[in-house]
Amino acid sequence: MPPVKGFLLVGRGILLLLAMIPILIAGKFSKVTNDTVSLRLRTLPVIGVFILVLVAVLTLGALAMLAPDRLAYLSVVALGGVAWGTWAMYGWYYERGQVDLLRVKQ
């Protein structure tokens, strides 16, 4: 593999990681709340959305690393859109009070 191809592949990997930052932030915040361990009826739709996001991230991530240049960079941009949308949807879900914070009995 020529060095330029290697640098471009590493660049794609870095862009892929940067595109996934919103999902990583939502996952980090989710560990502080009780929404990942409390299985209530309101949290069940989150599992379906999580599966869809996981499939989208895996597919777009594979395309970003294996596809030709233009499609690869388009996949990184699409992955960034999916990640930002996931972050925004989790924020909306949290703000609507659907997520149970660690409640302390008074």
Q: What is the pLDDT of residues 12-51, one digit of tens each?
A: 888 888 888 888 877 776 655 555 556 666 667 777 888 8
Compute the C-alpha angle 60/62/47, nearest 5°.
55
Q: What is the pLDDT of residue 6?
A: 83
Write out pLDDT tens, residues 71-104: 988 998 999 899 898 888 877 777 776 555 555 5
Q: What is the pLDDT of residue 59?
A: 92
> In terms of pTM, does the model score above 0.75?
no
DSSP 67: S
- Residue 68 phi/psi, 5° resolution? -60, 170
Q: For the chain, what percent of residues have pLDDT higher than 90?
A: 6
